[in-house]
Structure 1
Amino acid sequence: MAISSILYSPKSSDCDLQQLLKMAPLLCSVNDLHPSLITSAIKIRVVRAYGLLFNGDSQHMMSFECILQDEEGVKIHASFARNLAGSAASKIKEGCCYDFYKFYMRPNHMRFKTTDHEFRIVMTQKSQIFEITADDFPNEMFSFRTFAEIAGIKSVGDAALFDVIGVIVESGGVINQPNRKMLEIKIEDENHDSVVCTLWEEYVDEFLSQIDPNVKQIPIVLIQYCRPISYEGEIRISTSYNVSRVLLNRDTPIMNEFRQRIFGNIRFFKIANLTFNHESRRMVDETENLEVKSIEDVFCLEFLDFCDTLDSSYWICGKVDNVEAIHEWWYMGCTRCGKKVTQVDNKFYCDACKKYDGVANKRFMVKVNVVDASSDATMLLWDREYVKLLGKRAWEIDVEGVEPRDSCNIPKEIKEKFLHRVILFKVQLRNDGDFRFDEPYTVKKICITPEIVEKHAAEFLYSLNDVKSQNDSAKSFSDISFADDVVTEMQIPVSETDEAYGGDFEKIVKEGNELIETGKRKIENLFEESVNVKKGKLNVKVEKE
C-alpha cells in the first residue's frame, strides 16, 4: 500500500485502520530499533520536517526528511525518497504525533548528522503511518548545548546538529559572494559566554525579515539544528542547509523562559538598542584589534571607578610560570550547564539546573601564575580554555603517577602544555563584592594565535633588565598612580666638588634623598587611605624598589 494512501487521522472511520491497528506489533522505543527488527513500530512526535530541494527549487524535491522524537526524548532521523516526498510533505506536520510502522533501518552515515542515533529510518511504499492524539506526549523538542560545551568540541565533523539560544550582542553586515551570501552574528548566553554564528543563504533573509526597527527589545535568537565549524582555531556555529531554523524575538515558552533568566541583566538591557547594519562587511574579530594592558595596570584599574562599569574586562599578555590546583585540577560538572554537581547516592544533582542526572562529566579547573615585565598574577582557567589549549577533555588526560587527592600534583601533560607558554588572557576585574588580593582573576577568553601573541609579547614581555630604560622613555599608568615618577635620588653632576657645596656634599645628598622618600611615603599613604575608604577594611601592600 503506497504511503500516499495510508496516512489516517485520529477521527478516521476507515475499517482498514482498525484492521491495521490489530495487526500492528507492540510499540518499541527508538533506542530499541535495529536493522534486524523489520516489523518494528514506534510512537513519535515530528520535531522537524523539511525537504531537500534540487538547486533550491521548491518545485523539485529530492527527498523529504524528518527528525522524530519518542516519549523518552530520544531522536532519530527518517527519510522519504523522491517518489514519496511530495505526498509525505503534504501530510506530515511538525509538532504532531504519529505511529510509524513497516520501515527499514540503515546506518546513520549522513554528512551532517541531525541526531546521535546509530541508525536512521528509511520509509518505503509499504510503510504505514497513523496520526494519533497524545496529549501527555512530551512537548520538549530542543537539544540545546551551552556555549561552554560548544567551545570545547574537539572534532566538528563528529558532532550532531544542536540548538542554541542567546542574546545577539553584535552583528556584521550581509556579505554577497558570487554564489551565496552570509551574515555573522555574535551571541551571548546568560553567563556571558559567547559564540559567533554564520547565517547562510535563505537564513540571512529569514533573519532580516524578522527584524522590526520600530521595536526596541533585547534581541533573543534561537537557532535550531546548527553545526559547529572551526575558524582560525576558534569553534563557531553555522546554519546547516535546509534543516536549520532561525527564530528572533518570538513569543514562545522556551524564549519566554530564557527572557526571564536574563531579566534584570543591565548588560543585556543596553543591547536593546542594537542596530543591524545591512552593509556588506564582516564582523571584526575581537582579537584583531586588541587593547592589551600590563598586569600592573590592570591591578591599578581595580581601585578606580572603571571597575564599576558594565564591561570591566581587559586583555593581558603573559608567560605561565606555574600551574596549580585549587583543591583538585578537575571537578564533576553537569552535562547540561557545566556547573559543579553534588553526588547524591548514585546520582548527581545540579543546583543551577535543579535537576538530577545519572552521569556527570569531569571538567578542568586549574590556576596558573602569569608574569609579564611589570608584575605577576594568578588566574583561574575553566574547562573551555583548557580544552582549547590541550585539545583534550579532562577525562582523557593521563593521570599516571598523580595522587587523586593531592592538590599540588598536576598531571605532567598539563604542565608540559602550559609552563613557559605565552598566552593572551581576557580577565574579569574583581568587583567590590568579591575583591581579594589573594583570589585569582577569572579568565573569560584566551588567544593563542601565534602572530597575535607575538605582536603583544614583544611589548609586554621584554627583558626585565630593560624595564628601567623602558619606563624612562614611556611612563605607564601605574607609574603615575604609585608616584614612581617622583625623582628617587638627587642627580648631582659628577664634575661638581664638595667645595662647591660648602664641603658638605655627602650630607646634602643624604638629606635630600631623605626628604624625597618622606614625600613619596606620604603620597602612598594618601593613596592607601583613599582605597581603604572605597573598599572597607582592605590592606593595600605597595612594594618599593
Structure 2
Amino acid sequence: MSASDKRPLWVGDESFADGEVIAGVGMRRQSRTKELFGIKAGSDEGTMEHITPIKEIDSIKDDFTIKVRIIHLWTQKSKFNAKETYSIEMILMDEEGRKIHASCVKKWFPKFKRYLKEDSSIYVKKPNVAPNTLNFKFADPERKLNFYHDTTVKECENFSGSAHGFDFVDFNTFVSNNIMESKSFDIIRHIFEYGRMDTSEEDKSKHKMLLHLQDIEDTKLKVTLWGHNAYYMTEFLANNNSLAPVVVIVQFARVKFINGRPFSSTYFDVSRLFINNDIDEITSYKNKLVSENGQQLSSSGIKMIASKQNTEHDDFLKNHMFSNIDDLFEPLEEKTVIIVGTVKGIRQNIRWYYLACSNCYKSAKEKESSTDKVDGSHEVAEIVTYECSNPNCKNIKISVIPRFKIPLRVQDNTGTLTLTLFDQEAKKLFKYTAKELYDKNKKLGISLDLYPMELKVVVDKKLAIKIDITSYNVDNKSNIYGIARLTENANIIDELEKKNLNSQHDNSDSFIIGSSDIASQETKVVKDSFSHTGENLTPCARDNSTATSPTKLFSTPTELKRNLATCIDLDEMENLSTSKTPWLSPPDEQPISLLVPKKEK
C-alpha cells in the first residue's frame, strides 16, 4: 500500500493508518492505540483502566480520558454570518448517566467531524476543561469541554450505559414549583390537542406550535415547540394523525412559572424531540396507558386546538380599521386600529427597560430592608429586595428580570407619535433579550440609562402596528399608546398602504371647492383664524406630536395650551405606553368653523 493511500485511523494521532492487511503490523498499531487511551495491551476494552467519570473532571488535570455517548448533537451558527457554522455542540453522557456539554469549533472539524455523530459512543482523551457560563443549564452546571489540537477521539463499541439518559419529572413536581427555571428536564406524555403552526416571524427558528399534553393520570401540560422541533411535529401529524396514542418525549425542555402556573417549551436547538419512536421508554408508556384505560385508545385522531389568536394577515388586513397617526392624538372612541409608520428614533430621556417580577412579569418595585451583619460587628447591612406591584401575584419572595419598554418615535405622512414597545413584540425585532443587554451594560460598567447600541437596528424600519385605543385614552384625551402587535411583513405593509391610498382618493372630492361655493362665503374670518392659532399654539414639552393633515389644521381649538399638570403612572398596564406626559384638551372648548371667503364681483 502506498503512503498516499493511507489515512489516520484514530482522530488526533496521525501516525496510525487503517487499511493494513499485515496482521502483525495491524496488531502493533492496535496495541499502540490502546496504550494511548489507557487500555491494557492485549486486553478487551471492557477491562480498561484510567477512564475518568464526568463527576471527577476538574480543571487541574488535563491528561484524562472519558468514555461517553453523544446523546444530542447540533450546530451553532456564527454571530457574524448566519450561513456559516461556528461550532458543533454536543451533550455527552458517561456510563453513570452524568452529562456534560462539549464543543468543537470549526477549525477542528477536519480532525473530529466524522466521529461526532448523534447516538454514537466515543473515547475522548485530553479535552480542555472550561467553565459553564450558560444561564440555562442542560448538563454539568459547573464545567464544559472543548475539543482542540491536543484532544484525541476514538470510537467506542462497548458503551454499557443508558441509550438516552432521560430524566423525567412528574406532574406533582411541576405544580409544587420544585423545578428550577435555569435547569433542563425531560417530559413524557401523549398528545390530546395541538395548535396550528405560527409562522408570523420571518426567522424560522421563531416559528412555533402549541401542544396540549396529558399523562396517564390525566393531568395536562402546555408545551410550546420552537423552530425545527415544531416543523418535525407538524410533518409527523400531517402523515400520522390517525394513530393513537401519539407519545412524545421532550428532552432538555425548559419551564417558566407565570402566576404559579408552569409553561414548558423547547429551548433552541438544545432540546430533542422523540415522537412514537421505537424505544423502551415510549413502548413502556404506551403499554401502561392501554392498561390503565382498560382498552386500546380511540384512533379517531388528535383534536386541533381552537385558535383564539387571529392570523397575522387577518389581524392587520381584515379585522381592524386603518388609521393615520394624526387621528390618534385626541381619540374619540374605543377601538383597535392599524397604522403604518417608520421608526425615526428612540426617546433618550426615558428608560428602555423595566424590572419585572419573574413570576407574573408585572413591574416590581425596589424596597430596602436591613439585617444584622453575620460578622459579629453588630452593624446593620442594607439589603435590596423587590415586591411585585401586582396584588394577584402569588409569589411573596420574588426575583426580578429586565424586560423591554422602549419609547419609539414613529412617523407617517401625517405626523409623529411615541409608541411604547414591550417585551413580547420586541422579540420580533431584536436578536438579544432585555436581560442580555442589561447584563452586558452592567458588566462593562456602562450606565443602564444609556441605550445599548444593539437597539439601533430598529431605526428606519417600516412597520405595520396594531394599537388599542382604550377608555382611558378616550376619557382623558390621552395619546399614551403601547404597541399591541407589529409586523415587518412587506406584503402586508404594501396592502395597507394601497388601501390608505385608495381611501385618500375616495375622499379627495371633499377638498375640492368650486367657484360657486367660494362665491357664497365671507372673507373676514380666515385672517382672524390663522393669526389667532399662530400666537397661541403651545406644544407638549420635549415631545411634540406633529400633525400635517388638513383636517387637523382646519379644526384648531380657540386655545391650544395643554394642561400638563396631570401625569399618569401606568407601569402595570402593558397595553399602554408610560413614556409620555398626557396631552389633555379642555372639554368646554369647541372648534371654530371655517368660512370660505366670498369672491368679489
TM-score range, shorter chain: 0.3 to 0.5
Normalised by the length of structure 2, the TM-score is 0.43
Structure whose alpha-carbon radius of gyration is higher: 2
